[in-house]
Structure 1
């Protein structure tokens, strides 16, 4: 079966009970297909910024990453968040390997506009390391810290990182957040949506605020990898077990 690429955010990592429940489910899914985990860590970064009296600035939804802040952001994401998630995976009986986008030549990272600081974009490169790990039933746990060809460390958007992992492995992508999926005007879960339906719901104000960002990220990812992308909740990890039977979980976003 296709590898399953699961993206989680930092709020999930900080909830030990939720992390245990999801990782237990991933351990069951791994019996039937390869699984790879990509994570962000915004809340952990925020904790560090507050503790160090460093100001957070965002432009176009991206965290501006100054040279002064970069060592702490690398430490928070590739260090604390990554190893905390690796430790939680061990407790669920998985065999995790903590990685960053810097490792194994898996991706190519390029700095974005200088106004963002050390923030980069990413594209797929070499899947050899990931395929080797997946073939031996390891769980790669990938943080969104990359480096450009000159060796400059870069902060990469975790949704983009997960999308590139799906491109690299021709896998199925699931973006997990704290919502079950996309709801209609009557608060009922929508099992699938295409681009036109999404726009109608946005225009009607049914999809708004943070969900607009999530849906647009999923739609962009679906277009990039050419297959549907699922939005689901890490608070309801048991729903992901339906994937083992080729059933849907959450809301499936189609590229067109």
Structure 2
């Protein structure tokens, strides 16, 4: 199954013209895609309206148990359904999901300091495989649940990595930045494990971008293929969706050891 996993950030929805063009490109490309999304902007707006405190530690949103209901409402509710509506408008067949639907993943809490923030691991790909084989477009919010049914906020980049691992599929992480930038704000076209470590130690890669890059390297090593960090603002993106060579403009994260075609098929 030739599936591409694409992650979009919540700011993507702030420009409905770009979002609509993105879904039109998916339909025109006939590329099977699983879309994983965050929604930080929507959460921030909701928290501002409700006058709730907002805090991040190392790029991860602190989510006290008292706030998880609002995060779930914003991500699995409003943002997910807005994306599904735009996809339907483009004559696609979207299905809105969360990370725990169909037992796709299992979440565990990251730390008491972060509250209801989770990390997820692969569990069962049957639901996604069934939906994709019937030409549905799965749109997955970054809300997970632990074994006790407690809802957890999962970083969307890390969520997309796990879905890519689950399907053994290539991954592109889209946001509102062109890719990974150096100290002079120039785009870095390619990164290896050692280069990433050096740039994090130097403070060049930090906060949310460090979370994104580490997640991308994890995915690249798991699937044995490069992972792309690019911008949904880039006009080349729409053509790249149909490009079997995955020629995304942005930063390419290289795996430590690429897998052979036979090894990828075995995933």
State the TM-score, normalized to the length of structure 2. Answer: 0.86
Q: Which moved more, 1:81-90 or 1:233-242?
A: 233-242
Deviation at 1:209, TM superposition (A): 6.8
124-133 or 17-26, which deviates more: 17-26
Give the CA RMSD over aligned residues: 2.3
Distance 1:191 1:246, change over 3 A: farther
Contact 2:220–2:253 (8 Å) recurs in 1:
yes
Stretch deviating more after TM superposition (219-228 or 118-127): 219-228
The Cα shift of 1:25 comes to 1.6
1:4 aligns with 2:9: no
Map 1:130-209 onto structure 2 (within 5 A). Answer: 130-182=128-180, 189-199=187-197
Q: Hey, what does 2:233 align to over in structure 1?
A: 235
Distance 1:157 1:113 in 2: 14
Once the two structures are superposed, residues 195-217 of structure 1 have per-residue CA deviations (whole angstroms, 9 ceiling, x without a partner) of 23445566788767765554333
Alpha-carbon distance change, 7 to 187 in structure 1, aligned in 2, over 3 angstroms: same
SS of corresponding position for 1:245: coil
1:249 alignment counterpart:
248
Question: Does the Cα contact within 8 Å between 2:165 and 2:219 map onto a contact in 1?
Answer: no
Give the count of matched residue pairs.
254
What is the aligned partner in structure 2 of residue 108 from structure 1?
A: 106
Is the CA contact 1:230–1:253 (under 8 Å) kept in the aligned structure 2?
A: yes
Structure 2, unaligned runs of 5 or more: 257-267
* Aligned CA distance change for structure 1 residues 34 and 67 (closer, same or farther; 3 Å): same
CA contact under 8 A between 2:35 and 2:138: conserved in structure 1?
yes
Moved more, 212-221 or 172-181: 212-221
The change in CA–CA distance for 1:17 and 1:74 in structure 2 (over 3 A counts) is: same
Query: How many Å separate the matches in 2 of 1:159 and 1:133?
Result: 22
Shift of 1:113: 1.4
Q: Which residue of 2 aligns with 1:22?
A: 22
SS at match of 2:78: helix
